[in-house]
Amino acid sequence: QVNTPSDNFKWNQLGDLYQWFTDTYAQLSLQELKAKLNKNINSIYAMIDALSQEELFKPHMIALYSIK
């Protein structure tokens, strides 16, 4: 299954998704866009910090060992 940044668009509707990005964000200033980016980055950091070592790394280790 292919996921796009919005559940409103399928993988074969990327042109519509790009237009949605333009319509949604084109009017924002560079400063506002940077603030949104930093907020998203901080949310990702918080999500990672909330995970245990096992939650963060174990699934990747299982995938590595099963690739043989």
- Cα 68 to Cα 63: distance, rounded to the nearest angstrom: 10
For the chain, the residue count is: 68
Asked whether the predicted pLDDT for residue 65 surpasses 80, the reply is no
**pLDDT tens per residue across span 9-21:** 888 898 999 999 9
**pLDDT tens per residue across span 28-62:** 999 999 999 999 999 999 999 998 888 888 866 55
Neighbours of 4 (CB within 10 A): 13
pLDDT score at 67: 56
Show contacts of 35-44: CB within 8 Å, 24+ apart: none
Neighbours of 68 (CB within 10 A): 4
Q: What are the residue ranges spanned by the domains of the chain?
A: 11-65
Q: Is 5 helix (H, G, I), strand (E, B) or coil?
A: coil
